[in-house]
Amino acid sequence: MRLRSPFGLLSALALALAVAFFVLPIVAIFADVSPARLVAALGEESAREALWLSLRTTAIAMAIVLVLGTPAAYLLGRRRFRGRAILITAIELPLVVPPAVAGIGLLAAFGPHGILGGAVHGAGAELVFETAGVVVALTFVSAPFYLRQAITAFGALDRRPLEAARTLGAGPFRAFATVALPTAREGLASGLALAWGRALGEFGATLLFAGSLPGVTQTAPLAIFAEFSRPGGFVAALALSAVLISVAAALLLATKLLGGVGSVGTEGAR
Amino acid sequence: MRRPPLARFATAALIVAMATASFMALCGSGGGSTLTVLAASSLTGPLSEYARESGGAGARTSFAGSDQLAAQIRQGAPADVLASADTEYPRRLHREGLVGKPHVFARNLLVVIVPQDGNVDSLSGLAKPGVKIAIGDRSVPVGEYTRVVLSRLPAGERRGILANVRSEEPEVSSVVAKVTDGAADAGFVYATDARVAAGEVRAIRLPGHLQPEVAYAAAVVRDSPHPAAARRYLAGLLSGAGAKALRRAGFLAP
Amino acid sequence: MSGGRLELEASLPLRDFTLEVSLAVAPGERLALMGRSGAGKTSILRIAAGLMGPRSGRVSLGRETWLDTGAGIDLPPERRRCGLLFQEYALFAAMSAWRNVAYALRGRRGDQRRRAVGLLERFGIGHLGEAMPADLSGGERQRVALARALAAEPRALLLDEPLAALDPATREGAGRELDALLAAMEIPVVIVTHSAAEASRLADRTAVIEQGRLTATG
C-alpha cells in the first residue's frame, strides 16, 4: 500500500488518531504520578501484596486456560459438527456478560448454595473468599479471549501438513503437537496476551465471587479501588495504577515476542 | 514409535497434577477460625482498624457496595457478619431468614462535597444551570439517602438539582472520586467520606430538616461458621473497640 | 516388514457421479492414474493412505488389510506406512529441511540428523539441510518432500502430480531423476498425473478415470 495515495494518507491519519486515543489516558496517569511516588507505592506492603497476588492468580488462570482451552479450541476450530456454532457462542458468553453479573453467576454455580456448591465443598475446596475463587473468576472472564483467537488460528491451518504428518507415522496427538501448534503459535500467543491482559484488569467478578480480602483475594485492581476509601487514597490509587499498567504492558509484550508475533505473517507486506 | 507421545502425555499429566495441587493449596479451609466480615466501603477505615485490634478477632473484612454484599449473602457466601451502610438491606435479609436480628451500630450525616477551590457554596447553588452533580445509584444506600434529601426540597430546587445530576455511581467512593477528579462540581456523600478526602474537598452541611436518618445496621449471618465469635464482634461494634474506631472516624453514636 | 501387492476397491459418491474403482499394483510396478480434474484421482490416493474413507471398499497391502468397510476395519494413516507425496509438497513450514526429512525417523537426534542429511545428499541437496522450506525453490522443495516420504520406508508410495508444481525448465531434469529413483524401488507406486507424457515416462501402466470408472490400462 503506497502511503502517498489519498487512501494511504487517510489510513495513516486514522492510525495516528487511534494510537493517540488509546495511549493518552495511560500517559495521563503517568503524568499525574511523580516517579518518587511510584517507587513509594511499590514500597507499601498492601500494594506489593496486591501485585503479587495478581501475578500469581493470573498466571495460574492462564495455565488453566492454555491446558484446557488449547485442545478444546483445536476441536472447535477444525471439526465441523452439529451444534458447533452454539457451542462457540456459549463459550463466548462471558464476553458479553457484565463482570458483576458474571460474579453472581459464579456464586450461583459454585457458591455454597450453588448448583455445584455441594460438589465443591465435598471435594474439600473453598472458593468464595479464597484465592482459588479469584483464579476461577479470572479463568471465567478471560478464557473466551484466548479461545476465540485459538479457534481462529487452528481453523486457518492448512490440513495438508497435518495429513502429511499422519502418513509419516504420527498419531493425531503428535501431529497436533509437532505440526499444528508451531504453525498456530502466533495466533495462540496473541490470544494468550489478550486473555492475560483481561485477567490482570479483572474487577467486578472477582469482587463478587471472591471478595476483597487483602493478601487473599484483593488483586491489584481491587486494591486500587479500595484506596479511594482511604485518606490520601486517590494519589495512592494512581500510583498503583501506573505500576499495574507497567507490569501488564511488560507481560503482554513478552508473551507476544515469545510467541513470535510480528516476525511472521508480513511476507506480503512492503 | 511409542516413546515421544508417551513422554509428552506424561509431561502433560504431570503439569495438570501440579496445577491441581497448587490450585487446591490456594483453596484454604474457609478461613479457619478467622471471622469473615462483609462491610460497606464507607466503613473501610474504622473497620480495618477494628480488625487489627484483638477485639475484632483478627477478622478479615471484605469491603464492597451494600448491594453487592447482600447479593453475596443471598448466594450463600460463607460470611460471619454483615455491616451494611443502611438498615434496609439487613432488614430484608433478616426477613429472608439469611441473617439474624439487625442492630444499628452507627449513624452518619449526609453532606455535599465540592472541590477545595470549587465555586458552589450552598445547596441552592446546586440548582444553578451548568453545575455537574454526582450522586449514588438508587441501589446503594447513599443514593437512597440522597433522594430522601431531594424529596424534602421545594419542587423548583429539586428539579434544578436533578437536571444537573450527571452520574449515578454504584459506590459512594466513586462519587468522592468524581469530585476530587474534577469530573463533578459537587457530590452527595457521607460526612465520614468528606473527612477522608479532607485535603481535596470541602463539605457543605445540610440543614436539619433535610438531613435523612442515616443508620448503619449489622447482623450475624445465619449460617455463620463462628456464631459466638460473630456475636462478640457485633458487640464490639456496638460498644467496644469497634465503636471507638467508628467514633474516631467521625461516625455518630447509634 | 514385507510388502506386497497394493489392492484397492472403493465406491465414493462425488459431486456429479459416483466413483467406482478397483485397482491392483504389484511390488516394483508403477501405475499412472490419469483423468480430468475433479475425476477423483486424488481421492483414490487419499483413500489408499487412510486420510479419507469411501462409502464402501477395501484396501490391502499384501496380506495386511488396511480398510474393509464391510468388516469394520479402518487402520489410521500412521499405521499404514503408505507414503504420500502431496501436490504442493506440504512441508512443515516451521521446521528446517533436515527436520522435515527426519520427522518419521526414530533414535537419537544426532543419528536422525545424519540419516536425514544423507538422504538429502542422495537427492543432491545435502547442503540445504538447515534451510527453511520458505527459502527453497520449487524443485528443492519437491526433493525434500520426496526424501521425507522415503525416510519413512513406506511400503507403498503414492505421488500426487509430482512434477506439476515445477516450472517447465526444472520439470525435465526432475522427471529424469524421479524416473531413476522409482525404477529402483521395490514397492507398489501410484502416480497421479494429468500429463500423458509424464505418465508414459514415469509409469509402467496407465489407467484413466472417466465418469467415475477406470478404463484403459496400458
> In the prediction, which pLDDT does C57 show?
94
Q: Does A132 touch chain B (CB under 8 A)?
A: yes
How does pLDDT run along chain B (254 residues), one tens digit per residue?
Answer: 334 556 556 666 666 666 666 666 666 555 567 889 999 988 888 998 898 886 556 789 999 988 899 999 998 899 999 999 889 999 999 999 999 999 999 999 999 999 988 888 888 889 888 899 999 998 888 899 999 999 999 999 999 999 999 999 988 888 988 898 888 999 999 998 888 888 888 999 999 899 998 899 999 999 898 899 999 999 999 998 899 999 998 899 88
Distance CA(B241)–CA(A23), nearest Å, equals 47
* Residue B48 grid cell: 480495618
Distance CA(A207)–CA(B62), nearest Å, equals 9
| Bridge partners, residue B221, by sequence | B99
Q: Provide the CA C101 distance to its chain's centre, in angstroms.
A: 15
Q: CA dist A138 to A72, A87, A134, A200, Å?
A: 18, 21, 6, 8
Q: Does C81 touch chain A (CB under 8 A)?
A: yes
**A39-43, A53-57, A247-251, C118-122: the lowest-pLDDT one:** A39-43
Give pLDDT tens digits for A86-142. Answer: 999 998 999 999 998 999 999 999 988 888 888 888 888 888 888 999 999 999 999
User: B236, B50 in Cβ contact below 8 A?
Assistant: yes
Q: Does C84 touch chain A (CB under 8 A)?
A: yes
Cβ neighbour number for residue A157 with a 10 Å cutoff: 18
User: A166, C103 in Cβ contact below 8 A?
Assistant: no
| Strands in chain B per DSSP E | 36-40, 60-64, 81-83, 103-108, 110-115, 133-136, 165-169, 186-190, 201-205, 214-220
For the stretch C37-44, contacts whose Cβ atoms lie closer than 8 Å and that sit 24 or more positions apart, written own/partner, are: C37/C194, C38/C14, C39/C209, C39/C210, C39/C212, C40/C12, C40/C14, C40/C209, C40/C212, C41/C160, C41/C192, C41/C209, C42/C87, C42/C160, C42/C192, C43/C12, C43/C14, C43/C19, C44/C8, C44/C10, C44/C19, C44/C190, C44/C192, C44/C209
* In chain A, alpha helices (H): 6-32, 35-43, 45-78, 84-96, 99-110, 117-122, 131-155, 159-167, 172-175, 181-201, 204-210, 220-227, 233-258
pLDDT of A228 strictly over 90: no
8 Å CB contact of C93 and A165: no
Q: Which CATH number is associated with domain C1-81+154-218? A: 3.40.50.300
Of A186, A150, A187, A183, which is closest to residue A164 (Cα–Cα)? A183
pLDDT of A180 strictly over 70: yes
Closest chain B residue to A53, measured at CA: B26
User: B221, B139 in Cβ contact below 8 A?
Assistant: no
Task: Tell me which of C75, C85, C103, C132 to substitute to probe the interface with A (most A C-beta atoms closer than 10 Å).
Answer: C103
Distance CA(C48)–CA(C35), nearest Å, equals 18
Strand order in the sheet with B60-64: B60-64, B36-40, B81-83, B214-220, B103-108
Helices A233-258, B172-181: crossing angle, 10 deg rounding: 90
Q: What's the number of CA atoms in the CB half-sphere (13 Å) around residue C110? A: 0
User: B207, B165 in Cβ contact below 8 A?
Assistant: no
3-state secondary structure at position A102:
helix
Ordered by where they begin, the domains of chain B are 36-107+214-248 (3.40.190.10), 110-205 (3.40.190.10)
pTM: 0.83
Q: Does B64 touch chain A (CB under 8 A)?
A: yes
**Which residue in the set B26, B68, B176 is minimally distant from A228, CB to CB?**
B176
pLDDT of A209 strictly over 70: yes
Compute the C-alpha angle B54/B55/B59, nearest 5°. Answer: 75
Q: CA dist A164 to A110, B148, B188, C86, C88, Å?
A: 45, 74, 70, 8, 11
Distance CA(A136)–CA(C189), nearest Å, equals 56
CATH class of A36-258: mainly alpha
Distance CA(C130)–CA(B60), nearest Å, equals 60
Distance CA(B209)–CA(B201), nearest Å, equals 24
* Residue B152 grid cell: 424534602
Distance CA(B70)–CA(B89), nearest Å, equals 7
Distance CA(B175)–CA(B142), nearest Å, equals 10
Domain coordinates in residue numbering, chain C: 1-81+154-218, 93-153
Give pLDDT tens digits for C15-25. Answer: 888 889 999 99
Strand order in the sheet with B165-169: B165-169, B133-136, B186-190, B110-115, B201-205
ipTM of the complex: 0.92
Cβ contacts of A230 on chain B, cutoff 8 Å: 44-45, 196
Cβ contacts of A264 on chain C, cutoff 8 Å: none
pLDDT of A268 strictly over 50: no
Smallest CA–CA distance, residue A23 to chain B, in Å, is 19
| Bridge partners, residue C58, by sequence | C9, C68
> In the prediction, which pLDDT does B170 show?
85
Which residues 142-201 of B are in CB contact (within 8 Å) with A?
173-174, 176-177, 180-181, 193, 196-200
Cβ contacts of B68 on chain A, cutoff 8 Å: 100, 207-208
DSSP assignments along B38-56, one per residue: EEEGGGHHHHHHHHHSGGG
Phi first, then psi: give them for residue B166, nearest 5 degrees.
Answer: -100, -25
Distance CA(C150)–CA(A168), nearest Å, equals 9
Closest chain A residue to B59, measured at CA: A213
**Structure confidence at residue C39 as a pLDDT band (50, 70, 90):** confident
For A266, the enclosing helix (H) or strand (E) is none
> In the prediction, which pLDDT does B1 show?
35
Compute the C-alpha angle C69/C70/C71, nearest 5°. Answer: 95
3-state secondary structure at position B145:
helix
8 Å CB contact of B68 and A231: no
**Better pLDDT: C152 or B171:** C152
8 Å CB contact of A168 and C104: yes
Compute the C-alpha angle B114/B117/B121, nearest 5°. Answer: 50
Task: Tell me which of A168, A185, A186, A264 to substitute to probe the interface with C (most C C-beta atoms closer than 10 Å).
Answer: A168
Distance CA(A193)–CA(C201), nearest Å, equals 54
8 Å CB contact of A232 and B199: yes
Cβ contacts of B62 on chain A, cutoff 8 Å: 129, 211-213, 217
pLDDT of C209 strictly over 50: yes
User: C32, C82 in Cβ contact below 8 A?
Assistant: no
Cβ contacts of C93 on chain A, cutoff 8 Å: 161, 183
- Cell 474537598, located at residue: B201
Distance CA(C213)–CA(C216), nearest Å, equals 10
| Bridge partners, residue B64, by sequence | B40
pLDDT of A151 strictly over 60: yes
**Structure confidence at residue A44 as a pLDDT band (50, 70, 90):** confident
Q: CA dist B189 to B41, B43, B50, B148, Å?
A: 12, 13, 23, 13
**Structure confidence at residue C114 as a pLDDT band (50, 70, 90):** very high
Q: What is the mean pLDDT of chain A?
A: 88
Q: Provide the CA C107 distance to its chain's centre, in angstroms.
A: 25
| Distant-in-sequence, close-in-space partners of C181: CB < 8 Å, separation ≥ 6 | C146
**A180-189, A199-208, C166-175: the lowest-pLDDT one:** C166-175
% of chain C exceeding 70 in pLDDT: 98
Distance CA(B136)–CA(B144), nearest Å, equals 8
Smallest CA–CA distance, residue B60 to chain A, in Å, is 6
Cβ contacts of A107 on chain B, cutoff 8 Å: 71-72, 75-77
Distance CA(B189)–CA(B168), nearest Å, equals 12
Cβ contacts of B16 on chain A, cutoff 8 Å: 67
Q: Does A183 touch chain C (CB under 8 A)?
A: yes
8 Å CB contact of A111 and B199: no
Of B31, B144, B19, which is closest to residue B88 (Cα–Cα)? B144
Residue type, C155: R
Distance CA(C160)–CA(B146), nearest Å, equals 79
Q: Which chains touch C (3 or more CB pairs under 8 A)?
A: A
Average pLDDT over residues A24-47: 80
**Structure confidence at residue C117 as a pLDDT band (50, 70, 90):** very high
Closest chain A residue to C152, measured at CA: A168
Distance CA(C116)–CA(C127), nearest Å, equals 11
Q: Please write down the HEC assignment for all residues of chain C.
A: CCCCCEEEEEEEECCCCEEEEEEEECCCCEEEEECCCCCCHHHHHHHHHCCCCCCEEEEEECCEEEEECCCCEECCHHHHCEEEECCCCCCCCCCCHHHHHHCCCCCCHHHHHHHHHHHHHHCCCHHHCCCCHHHCCHHHHHHHHHHHHHHCCCCEEEEECCCCCCCHHHHHHHHHHHHHHHHCCCCCEEEECCCHHHHHHHCCEEEEEECCEEECCC
Smallest CA–CA distance, residue A8 to chain B, in Å, is 38
